[in-house]
Amino acid sequence: MVKQIEHLGIAVESIDATVKTFETLLGTECYKEEMVESEGVRTAFLMVGTSKIELLEATNEDSAIAKYLQKNRGGFHHVAFEVDDIDAELERLAGEGFQLIHQTPKGGADNKRIAFLHPKSTHGLLVELCQERID
């Protein structure tokens, strides 16, 4: 189970095409969608513990998100989610059809066990799962 983040904004081509992927990845549901006319974006929020993910879809060609997406496929480099049981999460996500870069966790920085999901499974976003290492 994912534990922590406040919110990360992720630029996407289509919320409709993206939201289900993130609902499955995070084991949660989108709790709010809204249009922000002044910014030219449609947003969708998903809770992750006390944190949030904000998906941002451009609604006009002049918005900052539209301009970002003209230069990038979307997203940013990666987001790391802390999980309770990385082995169980990898098994669950593989079962849901996510492509894993690491089939098993490996040692990472800051005394963590880590594994990455391939961006092809998550609409261009590189996702890292991490769990505190117990030696």
CB contact set of 39 (below 8 Å; sequence gap of 6+): 63, 64, 65
pLDDT tens profile 10-38: 999 999 999 999 999 999 999 999 888 87
Confidence of residue 125 (pLDDT cuts 50, 70, 90): confident
Flag whether pLDDT at 127 surpasses 60. Answer: yes
Question: Where does the chain show beta strands of DSSP type E?
Answer: 7-12, 30-36, 41-48, 51-58, 78-82, 106-108, 112-117, 126-132
Please report the domains of the chain, with CATH numbers, ordered by start residue: 7-132 (3.10.180.10)
